[in-house]
Every structure is written in C-alpha cells, then in structure tokens.
Amino acid sequence: MLTQSELHEFETKLLARKAKIEANLNKTSTELDDIRELELNDEADYASISTDTAIDNAILEQQRHELAEIELALDKIKRGVYGICEMCEEPIGKARLEVKNFARYCITCREVVEKNRLKG
C-alpha cells in the first residue's frame, strides 16, 4: 500500500504531466488551425502538410488517450483506490507506478489484458 507521501508525490507528477499535455494539445490545435488557413501553392506543399497533419493528429489522439488515463488516475487518488489493480484488486507495484503513473493493472494482469486485446 502506498503512503500518503507517496500518493501526494504521484498526484504531483500526474498533475504536472496533465498540464504539459493540455498545453501541447492547445498549441498543436492552434498550429493545425493556422495550417488550414494557409494557401498552398502546389501539390508538394499540400502533400507535405497533409502528411505532417496526419502525424500530428495521431500524436494528438495518443495524448488525448493519455490525458484520459491521467484523469482516471487522479480520480482514483480522490476515491482512495489509486495503485490498486482494476482486475485482481491487488496493489500495483510502486516501481510500475513510477514508470507509468497512471497504470491501471499490475504487471501480471496487464499481460492478460494485452493478450486479450491482440486476440480480439
């Protein structure tokens, strides 16, 4: 079980990452809006911008997903269930939480979830 001090430390890390992602999402959205307003001179410009936009959109989607996971972790801290595996309800190791602050599963259950995701 995590101590209050450890919980506070994880909450601080989660809030910092949340702020960084939100700032990046706002900046990237503004940049994409600016790109949409550009007058493109030729097909090469359009192709280059199109590829960059597709990559930016993929990154944005990944960051939105991470932001949702962070929100869930912050809610778990408030509810007193942070660091508990959603599958087996055992504590998630502190080392795992250090690597992935918003981990929802212990290592064993994560492997089960990943295998099931790949199957279906």
Domain positions in the chain are 4-119
What's residue 51's pLDDT?
72
What's residue 43's pLDDT?
66
What's residue 93's pLDDT?
94
CATH 1.10.10.10 fits 4-119, yes or no: no
Give the separation between CA 90 and CA 106, rounded to whole angstroms.
8
Give the separation between CA 16 and CA 69, rounded to whole angstroms.
14
Give the separation between CA 59 and CA 43, rounded to whole angstroms.
24
* Segments in the chain below pLDDT 50: none
- 93 burial level (CB within 10 Å; 0-12, 13-18, 19+): middle
> CB-based contacts of 108: which residues, under 8 Å, 6+ apart?
88
